[in-house]
Chain A
Amino acid sequence: MSADGPSVGHRATAPGSIRQAQQDPAWVRWGLISIAITVVVILVVIPVINIFVSALSEGFGVYCDNLFADSDTRDSIMLTLTVVPIALVANLIFGLAAAWAIARFEFPGRTLLTALIDLPFSVSPVVAGLMFVLIFGLQGYLGPFLRRDGYAVMPYLTSLPAVVVFIVTFFLLQPRREKERRGPWKHPKLALLAGSAFVFGLFCFGQQYFEVWPRNQSLKIIFATPGLVLATAFVTFPFVARELIPVMEAVGPDEELAAVSLGANGWQMFWTVTVPNIRWGLVYGIILCNARAVGEFGAVYVVSGHIAGQTDTMPLRIEKLFQEYNLPGSFAVASVLTLLAIFTLIAKIKLERKVPSADDHPAMRNAPEAGK
């Protein structure tokens, strides 16, 4: 026991000295904490509360009137609700495709693609908006064409999805067994090529023949909803892909290969294995993308043209109401955006606890012994 004495005493003193070495004096700690809290209160908490206070300053009835009685404000909310989902779906599809390509395949230009995905983060939104004006504006590069007969491209554009639907159907109807594949499935490449050409031609010709689209009219992209969608999609373009690439890389291709070797087709593999594995990354990406798309101002400002009731999204409407000295109205719309932001923040925090959990990391779940 006597031999234990000094060592126990030594152990008792050691943490004390370590604590002193690691921790700063109380005044430093409290100083830093109070500075941080003061800054957050002044810069974040007070302004956010002020938005709600100002919005509701004339009572809840006026607040509701400000939001829904003013037809221009109502239209701006509707426009945001139209533009954001379209941009979101476009970016979701693109993000999945890009993440899949980057995480699963080796191809020339892979690094370049990874870098280009981040481009919208580094380009100023105003520059992005201007870029679209220069290309799609009626005075821009494509202007002469768009002015003359812009709708002429529509049959071709709408035929492309039809071709995609045809290709997907072809593979879905393909017989499971190699031996049962007869007719078009015997020569899949030829059948796909011929079939796609036929479907494309049929749709194009059909639309032109029945004159679905107006002729000799200019197609407005800039200062119209398509321009808003383009600008919003461009600015929010990296979110989904950037969330998915690390998740897909961490999960690895093994489970997907296992599904295929167990007899799943591509569709089954995607929905039963890939999507469940990346679902939290996907939801997280969508939430971030949505938050940014709803609040986007700069790029949208350039391409919108400020036609009240037609091309004003919610952030643009806030600015316009503010310029018109309609502060309660401006704050009412702002409060809706703020509520959305707070909701996003809560969802993000909830999900962040989920994303890095063992659920999505194969290294932790499936092969803890591998490291030995």
Chain B
Amino acid sequence: MSIVIQGLSKTFGNFAALDNVSLEVPDGALLALLGPSGSGKTTLLRVIAGLEVADSGAVLHEGEDITDYSARDRKVGFVFQHYALFRHMTVAENIGYGLKVRRTPGAKIRERVDELLKLIRLEGLQTRYPGQLSGGQRQRVALARALAAQPKVLLLDEPFGALDAKVRQELRQWLRRLHEDIHVTSIFVTHDQEEAFEVADRVVVMNQGRIEQVGKPDEIYDHPATPFVYQFLGHVNHFHGRIQNGRLRLGDAEFPLSSREAAQDAPAIGYVRPHEIKVRAEANGAPSIVAIIKHMNTAGPLVHLELERADDGGRFAVELTREESRQIPLQTGARVFVELRNVRVFAEDNQALNPNLQAREETP
């Protein structure tokens, strides 16, 4: 294990940024810390880097306790969200800074800087100043600077946050390939689930200073451990009903559950993604609920529908492919029959279903 985190806690005033967080990062992993703002992901990254001191807990690096080490003794490369390049130094001086302060001979610094410039494909720009570079170029210089002293761990704080969409897309793929080449254990922070899934080989979902789930991107998407994870990764519909015989009962219809942990005969919330809903013009005997089309948006590769349940008036969203949408006559105000697939119920919701939770989940 490259990095082991044991029971880290950190509070700012009354706000718990980290609440007893434990995590293991394998050697050579590319790990994403994913979560909404205020979930503690950046704080965790800064504690690992030594830029922030945790109230309690420990950080181990290859078995060595580095909790009390200062940032400069940790052999960690840190890439700041806004790059924090030294604006009065050239690109080459920026990249060589970490070597210079460690008193590396000049010839070695130049050699390493040239090597890194080649790696980030900015040869010929070594005499430019950060102010003369584009956002994407600055980002790559910041990365090269962090890599110069051959850190054991690379930490990136929202590496693509300040870039526009197109550059971001390019840099994501580039970072992925770079990691395959140099294979240094890397942790990056993001609030964009798409980014986390595309770049990382392991994803850690965080919320309110706690880790909700750790796993491979597809594991997390297919088997979210908590309602929070389920909701954070894409759109979600809530269906309030009852659990009976291991099925979710909505009005007269009963839908099978994709998870089996559900309690018997209790109120429950079914979670269904918009693309996991089938819409039919006619009932065909399969369990279904009746709904009315309130709004439809046919632009783009998917058709987006907003439906209202005929029984309790609850609204939900549906995504159909163009092909599916052609098979049924769709128009605003039409009555349709809706079949739910992959209904998930979370155990904690069943026990609780408290007003607090419900209020939170009413927001689409």
Contact = CB atoms under 8 A, between A and B. Distances in A.
A262 B97 contact: yes
A369 B135 CA distance: 7
Contacts of A177: 73
Interface string A334-372: 000000000000000000000000110010111111101
Contacts of A272: 86, 97, 101
Contacts of B138: 366
A261 B131 contact: no
Given A277-B87, A366-B87, A367-B162, A263 B72 contact: yes
A258 B141 CA distance: 13
A254 interface: yes
A314 B46 CA distance: 55
Contacts of A254: 80, 82, 84
B152 to A, nearest CB: 13
Contacts of B87: 255, 277, 359, 362, 365-366
B73 A366 contact: no
Contact of B130 (A259, A261, A264, A366): A366
B51 A365 contact: no
B93 to A, nearest CB: 9
Contact of A366 (B50, B68, B83, B163): B83
B163 A268 contact: no
B49 A261 contact: yes
Interface string B112-134: 00000000000000000011000
A261 to B, nearest CB: 4
Contacts of B145: 258, 262
Contacts of A277: 87-88
Given A178-B69, A261-B49, A261-B71, A372 B164 contact: yes
A257 interface: yes
B71 A176 contact: no
Contacts of A161: none
B351 interface: no
Given A276-B88, A277-B87, A366-B138, A268 B78 contact: no
B51 A359 contact: no
B83 to A, nearest CB: 6
Interface residues of B, number: 36
Nearest to A181: B73
B298 interface: no
Interface size class of A (residues with CB under 8 A): 20 to 34
A262 B89 CA distance: 15
B70 interface: yes
B73 A257 contact: no
A260 interface: yes
Given A261-B49, A261-B76, A273-B86, A369 B71 contact: no
A262 B131 contact: no
Contacts of B102: 176, 263
Given A366-B83, A367-B162, A265 B71 contact: no
Given A277-B87, A369-B163, A261 B72 contact: yes
A246 to B, nearest CB: 17
B164 A268 contact: no
B29 interface: no
B130 to A, nearest CB: 6
Contacts of B74: 261
Given A259-B97, A263-B101, A369 B83 contact: no
Interface string B85-106: 1111000000001100110000
A369 B164 contact: yes
A191 to B, nearest CB: 16
Contacts of B135: 368-369
A257 B162 contact: no
Interface in B136-155: 138, 145-146, 148-149
A114 B193 CA distance: 43
A275 to B, nearest CB: 10
A177 B75 CA distance: 10
Contacts of A273: 86
Given A255-B84, A359-B87, A367-B82, A261 B97 contact: no
A236 B49 CA distance: 41
A263 B131 contact: no
A176 B75 CA distance: 12
Interface of A: 176-178, 254-255, 257-265, 268, 272-273, 276-277, 358-359, 362, 364-370, 372
Interface of B: 49-51, 68-74, 76-78, 80, 82-88, 97-98, 101-102, 130-131, 135, 138, 145-146, 148-149, 162-164
11 contacts: A178-B73, A254-B84, A255-B84, A262-B72, A263-B101, A272-B97, A272-B101, A273-B86, A365-B131, A366-B87, A366-B130
Given A272-B101, A358-B131, 13 more contacts: A176-B73, A257-B51, A260-B72, A261-B51, A261-B76, A261-B78, A262-B101, A264-B72, A264-B101, A364-B131, A366-B87, A368-B135, A369-B163
